[in-house]
Amino acid sequence: MKTLLTAVVAALMATTAYAHEWTPTYPKFEPSFIEDIVVTTMTLFNKRSDVEYYEITVHDADWNLVPFASATKLVYIPYLGKESVEIYIREADCDRIEYICTTSKQLLLDAPSSGIDSRICSKV
């Protein structure tokens, strides 16, 4: 029981305030250098010292995943780092895209670090 208690306490320790930001709130797509492909640039700011990876996803109004391309879909970003991410989608998908989201991802080893996953979605 003592082991369990110790593990549980260690698992979700109190932390100070950490945040993550994903802007702009209302991104606009523009034509890219590739025909029939549009692009927008989003900025991710990591103020969470307990998280270094963020996953990017694109969704329609029913939260179904929409295919997109970017340099990386799982962004490594150190504490207090800022990263601009270009997101490419097919022009044909422009009308059905509703949200572009980032979700904090914790390594399995770090899973107990804060116990809170943060997700921010911008609306197209």
Partner 1 sequence: MLRLFAALAVAVVGTTANAESVPITGNVASKCSIYTSVAGVYGNPAPDQLDTDPVKGGVDPVVRFDVTAADYYIAKISWPNSFATSPSLDDALAWDGEVTVSQTSDTGMAGYEAAKVEYDNITEYDLTVAGSTWFQIESSVDYGYGKSFPGGEYAANVTAECIAS
Residue numbers at the binding site for partner 1 (CB under 8 A):
1, 3-5, 7-15, 17-26, 47-48, 50, 99, 101, 106, 108, 111-123
Of the pair 93, 98, the CB lying nearest partner 1 is at 98
CB of residue 33 vs partner 1: minimum separation in angstroms? 26
The Cα-based distances of 79 to 10, 54, 107 in angstroms read 22, 12, 15
Of the pair 37, 105, the CB lying nearest partner 1 is at 105
In what order do the strands lie in the sheet containing 97-105? Answer: 74-76, 53-60, 97-105
Of the pair 1, 74, the CB lying nearest partner 1 is at 1
Q: Is 67 left (phi over 0), alpha (psi -120 to 50) or beta?
A: beta
CB of residue 34 vs partner 1: minimum separation in angstroms? 27
- The DSSP symbol for 65 reads B
Q: Note whether 42 and 26 are within 8 A (CB).
A: no
CB of residue 35 vs partner 1: minimum separation in angstroms? 29
Of the pair 34, 107, the CB lying nearest partner 1 is at 107
